[in-house]
Structure 1
Amino acid sequence: MRYELADFEWAALKPMLLNKPRGVPRVNDRRALNGIFWVLRSGAPWRDLPEALGPYTTCYNRFVRWRRAGVWSRIMNALAAAHDAAVQMIDTSIVRVHQHGACITRNQRQSMGRSRGGLTSKTHALVDSNGLPVRLALSPGEAHDNLLSRLKSGSMLLADRGYDALIRELAMKKGAWANIPPKSNRNTPICFSSYLYRARNKFERFFNQIKQCRRVATRYDKLAVNYLAFVQLASIRLWLRIYESAP
């Protein structure tokens, strides 16, 4: 069936799932993961899950249970631990919120914003020089502080001019160089390399890759934590493929 885990992907993920030392052994984690990744890639509602992947309630409940237990975050952090810290890039991507995800009161609490086209959700990401995700977050604005918590001294941070005043000072405090094009209204000159800035296109490639997953390209989830979990899962699969292709 399409979107199923390859053997090497399952071998990497299996040790990082929750253990169940007591009671009846949990049935077929791999089938549940295949169901979760099928929903991620296809964008279909949970109720439309094929019978071969098990009851949709089992897959959904396990998706939420593992998210609450921090499984997706731990896997993401473990895979991204070997990232290239010399050059990192930060930016955001805006996705449309589907009407099924917008039916909730106080949308501000769920990282949604209103624009001319309707409700949208903003995803912040920090990627390395290979375009691989290191940290992920949703709005509001304090997400930048969380993303840059692992920025190392001596590294270079690439971002567009919208971040000129927002994170330049934060990067300097960490001993990093923020290679950000200056805004037109900036009075004091800064050091900026347009040649090095070209590498930032890898950030766009990262979002183009994970947006092949329809649950990422359009937000169907009412809860921000569930949508972020799908973004993490798409990033996890990207990391797994890179590890497999490495010599």
Structure 2
Amino acid sequence: MARLEPCFPKSHGKPRVDDRRVLSGIIFINRNGLRWRDAPAEYGPHKTLYNRWKRWSDKGVFARIMAGLAAEHREEKTVMIDATYLEAHRTATSMGENGGRGRLIGRTKGGMNTRLHAICDSQGRPISLFVTAGHVSDYIGARALLSSLPDVDWLLGDRGYDADWFREALEDKGIRACIPGRKQRKTTVKHDKRRYKRRNRIEIMFGRLKDWRRVATRYDRCPKVFLSAIALAATVIYWL
């Protein structure tokens, strides 16, 4: 809590309910995928938990916490980039035009999904997160995360990131790309196969995030709130 408290908004007027108890209740709900009304009584009124969760998510508190803790462990050698699909529950897609336009939910062969794009360090710990609709390509996520890349030597990615503009952008930053070439390429692109094997760490990271029920299945209509759930899971699993 000593590391987290500086990121919380200051209390004005009447002292608010204990942050530790409320945060523990928020983590319990997100990890187990429960309704807020099903929170155990030990965490206090469920309305308090929900109101604090919604208010802090809108302010980007949980995203700032993850970014701040990740900045304390600066990566200097290798980062990895990838994306995964997260299923959207009917509660997140209902009552919206075309299945929830503006909520970053898209239809794919697997149904209604949101796509999580992430950059992690050499140990598989998430550094930057970005969400899009499920049908959005890897290139969109790569373009959005490009500016948040740290000053490193290597970037590992799969064939979905094999684009000339992306390789040139990495080269301008002084980063060497370890990305296999697409099969449609006329000229073969060489990559370090031994180094590329380490990319499984970002796949493991996605699997651990999906152990949290409200991350694996999206129940929140607001994309900012859903991204807060992912950032909270990443903080608890990797940065605390």
Residues 75-224 of structure 1 mapped to structure 2, 5 A cutoff:
75-81=65-71, 82-106=73-97, 107-139=100-132, 142-153=140-151, 155-165=153-163, 167-224=166-223
Task: Note the C-alpha offset of 1:152.
Answer: 4.1
Counterparts of 1:45 and 1:56, CA distance in 2: 9
- Counterpart contact for 1:100–1:220, Cα < 8 Å: yes
Counterparts of 1:154 and 1:214, CA distance in 2: 33
Question: More deviation in 36-45 or 100-109?
Answer: 100-109
Identity, in percent, stands at: 38
Report Cα offsets for 1:4-57 as digits up to 9, x if no partner.
xxxxxx33222321111x311112111110111011110011121111111111
Counterparts of 1:224 and 1:154, CA distance in 2: 30
Q: 1:244 maps to which residue? A: none
- Counterpart contact for 1:42–1:214, Cα < 8 Å: yes
The equivalent position to 1:58 in structure 2, one of 48, 52, 64, is 48
Task: Note the C-alpha offset of 1:153.
Answer: 4.8
SS class of match (2:205) = helix
Structure 2 unpaired stretches of 5+:
none
Report Cα offsets for 1:147-204 as digits up to 9, x if no partner.
2213245521111001101632321222211110000111234331111000000001
- Counterpart contact for 1:79–1:239, Cα < 8 Å: no
Aligned pairs, how many?
Answer: 231
- Counterpart contact for 1:211–1:217, Cα < 8 Å: yes
Q: 1:203 to 1:62 in 2, by over 3 A?
A: same
Kindly provide the amino acid, as one letter, of the partner of residue 234 in structure 1.
Answer: A
Counterparts of 1:169 and 1:228, CA distance in 2: 29
Q: 1:7 maps to which residue? A: none
Kindly provide the amino acid, as one letter, of the partner of residue 225 in structure 2.
Answer: N
SS class of match (1:110) = coil
Residue 14 (structure 1) aligned with residue 5 (structure 2): yes
Q: 1:245 maps to which residue? A: none
- Counterpart contact for 2:181–2:190, Cα < 8 Å: no
- Counterpart contact for 2:75–2:152, Cα < 8 Å: no
